[in-house]
Amino acid sequence: MKFFPTRAWPAVDRMRIPSIAPLVIAASFVSLAIASGLIAPAMAQAPAAASTPEVYTIDVAHSGVRFEVRHLFSPTPGRFKDFQGTLHYDPQNPAQSRISLTIQTASIDTDNEKRDGHLRTADFLDAEKYPTIVFESDRMEPGEKEGLFHVHGNLTIRGVTRPVTMDVEMLGFGDIPGMGRRGGFIARTTIDRTQFGVVWNRALDQGGALLGNEIKIECPIEVILQEPEPAK
C-alpha cells in the first residue's frame, strides 16, 4: 500500500482575517428590532414636518366677554365691552392651539352707571391701577366629547396671576364668501374673585353676604383668519 506525502498548508494569520460571526449576530439583532417595532428604519426616523398654525384675531362685533355674580339671591350679569385677542389654531392638531385675550378693565358694563363706577374703584377691579385683565393659554387637551377642549392657562386680574382652566366648545371653521375664513367657539370657566384680590363685600343683618365670591365667565368668540403677508 502506497501512502502519499502529507501536503503542507500555509499558516493562517488570524489577525488579518477577522471573524464575521459578531457582524452576523449584530445584523440579526437589528433586523429583529426593526421587525418588532423597537427601532425604525433610517428613513422612518426623519421627523414629520410640523404644520404651521393659522393665526386668527377676534371679531369683537360678533364676540363677547360676559360674567355673572350672585347679588343677594339671584345672579347679576355683566360684560366687558373692550377686548381683543388672538388664536393660533393648528387644524391638524387642535390640542397644540393657543389663545390670548386682553380686556380693558374700565370697559366693565353691568347696565348700571353707579354700580359700574364702583366696580372700577379699588374696592373691586381698581381699573386705574390695573387697566387690563389678561388670559394666556399654555396648553390644551381634548375633552370628554368631540369638539370639547380643556384650555389651561394663566388669568391676571388686579396684578394677581392664577392658573385657570377654560372649557372650550369648538363650533366650527369654514370659508365664508365675502367674509374670509372664520371660526367660532364658546369658552366657559368659573373663578373665585377673592383669589385675585377682589374681596369687597357687605355682611347682611340676617346672615350671609351681599355678594357671592364665585364668578361665572362665558365668552362666545368668533375669529377671522389673518392672511400671511406676501414675501418681499
- Tens of pLDDT, residues 158-199: 999 999 999 999 999 999 999 999 999 999 999 999 999 999
DSSP-assigned letter for residue 125: T
- Rounded CA-CA distance 97/138 in Å is 9
- Rounded CA-CA distance 172/179 in Å is 15
Q: What is the pTM of this model?
A: 0.76
Q: What is the pLDDT of residue 52?
A: 83
pLDDT band with cut points at 50, 70 and 90 for residue 230: low
Q: Where are the domains of the chain?
A: 19-47, 54-225
- When the pLDDT of each residue in the chain is averaged and rounded to a whole number, the result is 84
Where is pLDDT greater, at 40 or 226?
226
- 3-state SS, residue 78: strand
The b/e string for 89-128 (b: 16+ C-beta within 10 A; e otherwise) is bbeeeeeebbbebbbebbbbebeeeebbeebbeeebbbbe
CATH level 3 topology of 54-225: Lipocalin (2.40.128)
- Please check the confidence at residue 27 and state whether its pLDDT lies above 90: no
pLDDT band with cut points at 50, 70 and 90 for residue 140: very high
| pLDDT > 70 in the chain, percent | 77
Q: What is the pLDDT of residue 53?
A: 87
Cell of residue 77, nine digits? 350679569
Closest by CA to 59, choosing from 190, 170, 219, is 219
- Please check the confidence at residue 29 and state whether its pLDDT lies above 50: no
pLDDT band with cut points at 50, 70 and 90 for residue 94: confident
**Minimum mean pLDDT among 15-19, 52-56, 133-137: which range?**
15-19
| pLDDT > 90 in the chain, percent | 68
Q: In the chain, count of helices (H) and strands (E)? A: 2, 11
Amino acid type, 133: I
- Please check the confidence at residue 104 and state whether its pLDDT lies above 90: yes
Cα–Cα distances (Å) from 44 to 28, 34, 49, 77, in that order, read: 19, 11, 13, 55
